[in-house]
A and B are shown apart, each in its own frame.
Chain A
Amino acid sequence: MKSFIARIRPALVYILAIIIGTSLQFDGRFLGSLGLQADFLLVFPLLTGMGYGPRDGLIIGLVSGFFRDYLAGRYFGGGMFCTFLLGWGSGYLPVVRGKLRLAFYALMVIAATVIFQFIGAFLVFIGQSFQPRTNLLWILGKMGSNLPWLIVKNLVLTGILIIVHYILPPYPRSDRDYGGPMIRFEPGESNV
């Protein structure tokens, strides 16, 4: 029984996180009324990939994208495609240990937020149904003006997810070292 629970623990933790995260992201009355909705379905696959590798990142990216499309997407597959690539790709980023780990997470969250806003602007541009079409630069400018606040919210969410992960990690903690590329910033360690 114990080994069975240990086996399904990652799935349980991931499902719980996605259900609660999406319900907060897509609830316009609670956080939305205060303008505090962060993009959970972007940050979560990114952090999962960075933390647990490309396989977990890919699966969580797929599931996150599915929920994004299912709950609020006009077409099915767009969100899935983007977040599945994000989760998978983030699994190949180097592991940073030590003091700069949080800074590395923050940098990646900022980069992913900016890239997704650009992709979003492009999708809005090509998805226009009526003529005359709105200029891509106008859409980029409008999305760009919302970008700093969205980055702040995503960074706060990243902090919350790191704390929640510390309390309830999907996998039991282990001392085993990761064999892939790794950057260390601990005193006395070699850098790479």
Chain B
Amino acid sequence: MNRSKGPRIIVVVVLAIVILAILMLSTIPDSSPFSILTAPIAKVVNPIYRGLRSVAGSVSGWFSSLRDTEEIRQENERLKLENARLAHELSQNQDAIQQYENLKDALQIKTRFDRYTIKGGYILTDGFTGWFDLYRINLGREDGINVSPENSYAVVDAGSFLLGRLYSSDVNSSKVMPLIHEGFAINAVVGEGTAAINMRVRGDVQLRSQGLCLADNISGQSILKVGDIVKTSGVGGHFPPGLVIGTVQELRFSKTGAIQSAIIKPSAPEENRSVVFVLIGENE
């Protein structure tokens, strides 16, 4: 192996300064130049990731199909191959049925949140570390989504359970900040009318690894109990009221005996998530 000669140190220093400047700029909300700069790359790489994800899904589906037909394979060699082929086709069809069911459920969401347009999208890439990662979906500015400090969008699954919010968008994709992410926070409510308990639901570093989030700033603490369903309050106007966030799993008390915070178990199931829905308000 031949090793290349190193670049001049000044090149490395300038690059380091430029990258640090980019890092500092990107921490400012609405740093739109980055999404404009990445637009050409997004145009090329996002369809590739979508395609590769489909291939990976098909391959894993094929392997699971083979695993499921193990008993039949032992019975007859000829039937084994036939069964594997049929099972592969079946898994493809089941995927299509599942997508249809998801879309059907999405239409039911629309009847509940008719002031919002619902856009269905696919997950392009998941996170990796589980600590600070977001995930990317295939909906972007071309689909009418333009994330800014003034514009935020709720992301839900087919059962209208809250998954998170859009964090940034570019030409054909957006990043989703999950509900359990440390940077996520939303106004929430338990109960209705005068009995409503208001709170803030947010991600927490310690709870994230368990797939949980935290509720604090709780009003009317005395009547909050384990098992209560936590929903979005609609305060702020970006998220519709009534989206299910999760259920109260545990209450944490202060030394005086008052409820200090609550641990919330999100209602959206973590596994096998491939389709998500973005709620776009009428005025956006």
Contact = CB atoms under 8 A, between A and B. Distances in A.
Interface stretch (B51-59, B79-87, B228-236): B51-59
Contact of B182 (A26, A75, A128): A128
Contacts of B131: 120, 124, 143
A53 B3 CA distance: 4
B80 to A, nearest CB: 24
Interface stretch (A1-9, A29-37, A103-111, A184-192): A29-37
B206 A138 contact: yes
A77 B133 contact: no
Nearest to B127: A72
B128 A178 contact: no
B4 A56 contact: yes
B274 interface: yes
Interface string B209-240: 10000000000000000000000000000000
B206 A171 contact: no
Interface residues of A, number: 59
Interface stretch (B16-24, B68-76, B109-117): B16-24
B3 A39 contact: no
B56 to A, nearest CB: 4
Contacts of B20: 77, 81
Nearest to A34: B60
B255 interface: no
Main secondary structure of the interface of A (DSSP, over half): helix
A54 B4 contact: yes
Interface string B112-140: 00000000000111111101111110000
A85 B15 CA distance: 10
Given A19-B45, A55-B4, A55-B6, A75 B27 contact: yes
Main secondary structure of the interface of B (DSSP, over half): mixed
Contacts of B205: 124, 128, 134, 139
Contact of A52 (B1, B31, B41): B1
Given A51-B1, A54-B7, A75-B23, A29 B202 contact: no
B264 to A, nearest CB: 15
A72 B125 contact: yes
A39 B209 CA distance: 18
A71 B1 contact: no
A191 B145 CA distance: 61
A38 B134 CA distance: 17
Contacts of B2: 52-53, 171, 174, 176, 178
A134 B4 contact: no
Interface in B1-55: 1-7, 12, 15-16, 19-20, 22-27, 31, 34, 38, 41, 45, 48-49, 52-53
Contacts of B277: none
Given A23-B52, A124-B131, A53 B206 contact: no
A81 B19 contact: yes
A126 to B, nearest CB: 11
Interface of B: 1-7, 12, 15-16, 19-20, 22-27, 31, 34, 38, 41, 45, 48-49, 52-53, 56-57, 59-60, 123-129, 131-136, 167, 175, 177, 182-183, 185, 202, 204-206, 209, 271-274
Given A27-B52, A52-B1, 14 more contacts: A26-B125, A33-B271, A58-B7, A62-B15, A70-B45, A72-B127, A72-B136, A74-B177, A80-B23, A120-B131, A127-B182, A130-B182, A174-B2, A178-B3
16 contacts: A26-B126, A26-B135, A29-B53, A54-B5, A54-B7, A70-B38, A72-B127, A72-B135, A73-B132, A77-B19, A80-B22, A91-B4, A123-B132, A128-B182, A169-B1, A171-B2
